[in-house]
Amino acid sequence: MEQKHILHLYRRLGFGILPSELDEISKKSKKQIVNNLFDASKTITPLTQDTSKLKALIGDSYVTAKENLREIQKLSRQLTPKLNVAWIDRMSNSTEVVREKMTLFWANHFVCEDNNYIYTQKYHNTLRKHALGNFKDFVNAVSKEAAMTKYLNTKQNKKQKPNENFARELMELFTLGVGNYTEQDIKEAARAFTGYAHDLQGNSLFRKRLHDHGEKTFFGQTGNFQGNNIVDIILNQKRCAQYICEKLYRYYVNDVINKAHVEEMTQVFYKNYNIEALMRHVCSSKWFYAEENIGNKIKSPIELLVGIQTLVPTTFKNQKQLLYLQRLLGQVLLDPPNVAGWKGGKNWIDSNTITMRLKLPSLLLNSAYISKTEEGASDVLMAQKKNYFKKNFGKRFNVESNWNYFNKHFKNIDINHLQHYVLACNISPVAKNYLNGLQKVSKQEYCVQLMSLPEYQMC
């Protein structure tokens, strides 16, 4: 398998690959490499923190929980950012890279948030558990999660007064897309999900007395349906498989849909809704490695941060700075903007974020400094060196960069070949002139210079 294609595979299925690892696997076939990637992600390693104190504060009665509400909220506010940081670290270091990248994808598909850390952690690990599993099991699991029943008001969905929030988003955002159901379908689905609830510790409950046991007619079928029956009927619609394949195609392949490729994916997925089988098919196809699909996607802020840490591990001495940086870039893990999540693509870039993105590598890895260029370099690229960033942000990002790790894995790479491993797309004439004018002092500095190009924003 060509190194170019291996690099592409690892950038899309994960967050990059180091030259030392690339050399080891480059002689293997595509089938072997793809199998190894997915086999490494068969393990499920939950991200957990000690919640014993929080559980004790909540107790098993609403009276206890209400009495300790302030302490519960305070402790949850302390634990949630720690999960954010732990997840960044996991994505940067895990061997289960496919599962972690897919968990990131599903977190922006089954969008949810909660101010109770127990519910947040449980929901997060449910995403990780089902990320490569069966989609039907996944949807059913999500529908019963405490965080989701709170977020979309399923807990308030009762026989006497149905709440349609979850039923609507289930079809509009999670399974079918706008326009592929009727308002009556929403009403009937909401009735089927009545009685879904959870206890104080986040365990799912089904309250029979609050459930509507009457007949419902949904997508032309009539029966005494519960939530799982609604999910079955939705997944029987081929549009559901197509909708998920379209989202996966935009995320992993190209923002511009190729109908033939999506139809091919849909045929595979509709058979049994096996997520891993679908992704293996995508990674084994010829079109996944086509030139038009390489280096054509804008990295999300999290992909950008994790990608930098994959090459040069960085440790934030003050973890709050990592969350602050995510906010500056426009994507804070576990804090989605709304139920539709982040739009992605070109929406990641605006006049504020692009400047920060271009300067980020030098801020984190080189004290906000980029090597001087010879006369004639691009004014736009030169502008990145302004002291404004060091003055305003240099002190805020107190990080420790592990350049020994970088030097170890790039030991046998010639400085002139470094861009092959750092950049995913071809560089522009302007960038070429800029690179030619740089003073190549060391691999470290040249790596920062390459990361500071607009081309590094692509994967």
Average pLDDT over residues 184-189: 98
> For the chain, give me the number of helices (H) and strands (E)?
25, 6
pLDDT of residue 392: 56
What's the mean pLDDT when you consider all of the chain?
A: 93
pLDDT of residue 378: 44
Q: Domain coordinates of the chain in residue numbers? A: 301-457
DSSP E strand boundaries for 144-269: 196-198, 204-206, 216-218, 221-223
CB contact at 8 A, 121 and 51: yes
pLDDT of residue 390: 52
pLDDT digits (tens, 9 = 90+) for 244-253: 999 999 999 9
Question: Does pLDDT of 377 surpass 50?
Answer: no
pLDDT of residue 374: 41
pLDDT of residue 368: 62
pLDDT of residue 380: 44
Average pLDDT over residues 81-110: 97
pLDDT digits (tens, 9 = 90+) for 37-88: 999 999 999 999 999 999 999 999 999 999 999 999 999 999 999 999 999 9
Determine how many CB atoms are found less than 10 A away from the CB of residue 63: 9
Average pLDDT over residues 195-201: 95
pTM for the model: 0.94
End-to-end CA distance of the chain: 19
pLDDT digits (tens, 9 = 90+) for 425-435: 999 998 888 88
**Helices 97-107 and 275-284, packing angle to 10 deg:** 110
pLDDT digits (tens, 9 = 90+) for 436-454: 887 777 999 999 999 999 9
* Residue 93: both structure tokens together: 């270091």
pLDDT of residue 384: 45
∠ CA 370-376-379 to the nearest 5 degrees?
60
pLDDT digits (tens, 9 = 90+) for 411-420: 999 999 999 9
Rounded-to-integer distance, Cα 12 and Cα 447, Å: 21
pLDDT of residue 366: 85
pLDDT digits (tens, 9 = 90+) for 208-225: 999 999 999 999 999 999
pLDDT of residue 376: 42
pLDDT of residue 257: 98
Which three-class secondary structure state does DSSP give residue 251?
helix
Rounded-to-integer distance, Cα 451 and Cα 436, Å: 15
Rounded-to-integer distance, Cα 245 and Cα 266, Å: 6
Q: Which long-range contacts (CB under 8 A, 24 or more apart) does 34-38 make?
A: 34/9, 34/280, 34/283, 34/284, 37/9, 37/10, 37/13, 37/97, 37/98, 37/283, 38/98, 38/132, 38/276, 38/279, 38/280
pLDDT of residue 211: 97
pLDDT of residue 437: 81
pLDDT of residue 369: 61
Question: Does pLDDT of 379 surpass 80?
Answer: no
pLDDT of residue 182: 98
Which residues are CB-neighbours of 394 under 8 A, at least 6 positions away?
363, 367, 368
pLDDT of residue 174: 98
